Structure 1
Amino acid sequence: MSRFAFALLAAAALAGPAVAQEAKNFNGPFIGAQLGWQQDRQSLDLGTVPPSTVRAKGDGFAYGGQIGYDFNLGSAVLGVETSLTGRTGSNRFPTFDLEAGRTINVTARAGWLVTPEGLLYARGGYSNARFSVTNPAGGAENRDGYTVGAGYEQMLGKNVSARIEYAYSDYGNDSLPGIGGGGASLNYHRHAVMTGVNFRF
């Protein structure tokens, strides 16, 4: 009996490090950096009779960082994340330019482990983006909205993972300060493809 108990203890001791190693995949806090492409699309309703709408879209380089926490539930992973990004470029309308500033996202995600090192996931939550009227100089405002997306994340080593993700964001409609005497309405949308690296603890 003692030999059997000793064998069980030895097996547990050998299996323990392997189980602990696997449990570290997509579990616990992380911090990272991201970069990629964003395209902002706006539709400007000039408030005229008959109705007149002008559309613009602009591409930009996006960059930033994120911090979050993952919960490994076995075959599934739940997580929360906060990110801060900036971008280059602006959208040009006939009488003004619209420049995008920083964006803050607070999101939750749910994913499925397709392999012990690979996570396929969906994401959604709150987004706040800053937009400024330039050329000529005009007003600036922070827009509240939502963001949804999907991506794939792969463990590269013991505490490092990399991901690629698509996201769509909507910031609603609002009067644009300083344009059309306040009667113009602008609709805000964004598409983004981002890559990122996370360092896990």
Structure 2
Amino acid sequence: MRSLYMLTLAAGTAALALAGPAFAQDTEKAPFDGVYVGGTIGFDAQPNDGNETILFDRNLDGNFGDTVTTGTGANAFSRGFCGGAATSTANIACRNDKDNISYSARIGFDKQFGNIVAGVVGEFGKSQIRDSVSAFSTTPASYTMTREIDYDANLRLRLGYAANTTLFYATGGPAYAKLDHSFTTSNGLNSFTGSGDDDAWGFVAGGGIEQKLGRNFSIGLEYLYNQYKDDDYIVRAGAGTAPATNPFILPPNTTGTDFARSDDQFRWHSVRATAQFRF
């Protein structure tokens, strides 16, 4: 992942460095003024979430943090958890979360006041990242909750400083993502319900550099931190064909047990190249 970051940064820095002298003859008084359209492509990476777990609501009172116990009173999940997708039921083994590319389309408007540039930009796109967490019961069995992004959008303010045809800026604003949740397990006895799309709201913030290439076209390099609140996804373990001694349906509550992720924030970092056409 570090090598991909370095490659992206090096390529973007080299392109911007070469572009500046080549187009120094562009002497517009306000090169970053007006409406523009463009797109981005980059790489998204998630922070380490190795300490994430799955929480349980054993009595279905809406409060998570209960211990699921066996008929003898032992902790049914004493084998533990991992911050990834389970690859085995015999051992606590998980593959890492998937960091991947992202892409988006954008439209924006800037107004330049001397060297100061203020504007707004809206984006619509998709990230290919995937985030999972797994629990391991003493049965033994594995239980994995996964979230991915169907699409995302944001509306950000931009404020920057223009040095001739080079713009340095900070940016941030509210964001929305349509999340796709899924659940997998090696447990073939209990029934499990709860999957599908959910709405998530959050924010993005970061900064970047944009370099004009002639009067209408520009390229850039941008970093964004993305964070969304994801607390609506719950999986319920029901009786299915499990015996009455099953830990999820032991008396006094025989209806079932709810699962939820311990971390209700979905976060990632984006480094991307940008291209804009200004009208």
Q: TM-score, normalised by structure 1?
A: 0.79
CA gap of 1:177–1:102, structure 2 versus 1, over 3 A, is: same
- Which of 74, 79, 83 is residue 123 of structure 2 equivalent to? 83
The match for 1:119 among 156, 164, 167 is: 167
Contact between 1:175 and 1:182, CA under 8 Å: does it hold in 2? Answer: no
> Could you list the per-position Cα deviations for residues 70-104 of structure 1 after superposition, in whole angstroms to 9, with x for gaps in the alignment?
10111110010000111224223221322122110
What is the one-letter code of the residue matched to 2:109? Y
2:158 & 2:81 partners in 1: Cα distance?
Answer: 36
Moved more, 140-149 or 92-101: 92-101
> What does residue range 169-180 of structure 1 map to in structure 2 within 5 Å?
169-178=226-235
Structure 1: runs of 5+ lacking an equivalent: 1-19
What secondary structure sits across from 2:215 in the alignment? coil
Alpha-carbon offset, residue 173 of structure 1:
4.9
Number of aligned residue pairs: give it: 181
Normalized per residue, the structure richer in strand is: 1
Q: Conserved in 1, the CA contact under 8 Å of 2:170 and 2:207?
A: yes
Q: Distance in 2 between matches of 1:168 and 1:144?
A: 14
Q: Match for residue 197 of structure 2?
A: 140
Equivalence map 1:47-66=2 (5 Å): 47-49=64-66, 54-56=82-84, 57-66=97-106
Q: Within 2, Cα distance between the matches of 1:34 and 1:120?
A: 17
Q: Note the alpha carbon deviations across 1:35-55, whole angstroms, 9 max, x for none.
A: 1011245645524357x8753
> Structure 2 stretches of 5 or more lacking a match?
1-25, 56-63, 68-79, 85-96, 135-143, 185-193, 237-256
Q: CA RMSD in A?
A: 2.6
Q: Give the match's secondary structure for 1:23.
A: coil
Report the counterpart of residue 268 of structure 2 in structure 1.
190
Tell me the CA shift for residue 172 of structure 1: 2.8
Q: Kindly tell me: are residues 187 and 48 of structure 1, through their superposed partners in 2, closer, same or farther at Cα, counting changes over 3 Å? A: same
Aligned to 1:26: 32
Q: Residue 221 of structure 2: SS of its match in structure 1?
A: strand
Identical aligned residues as a percent: 26
Query: Which structure has the bigger radius of gyration?
Result: 2
Matched residue, 2:114? 74
2:30·2:114 contact (CA, 8 Å) conserved in 1? no
| 1:138, distance to aligned residue in structure 2 (A) | 1.2
Which residue is 2:258 aligned to? 181
Per the TM alignment, residue 108 of structure 1 is displaced from its structure 2 partner at its CA by 0.3
TM-score normalised over the length of structure 2: 0.58
2:208 is aligned with 1:151: yes
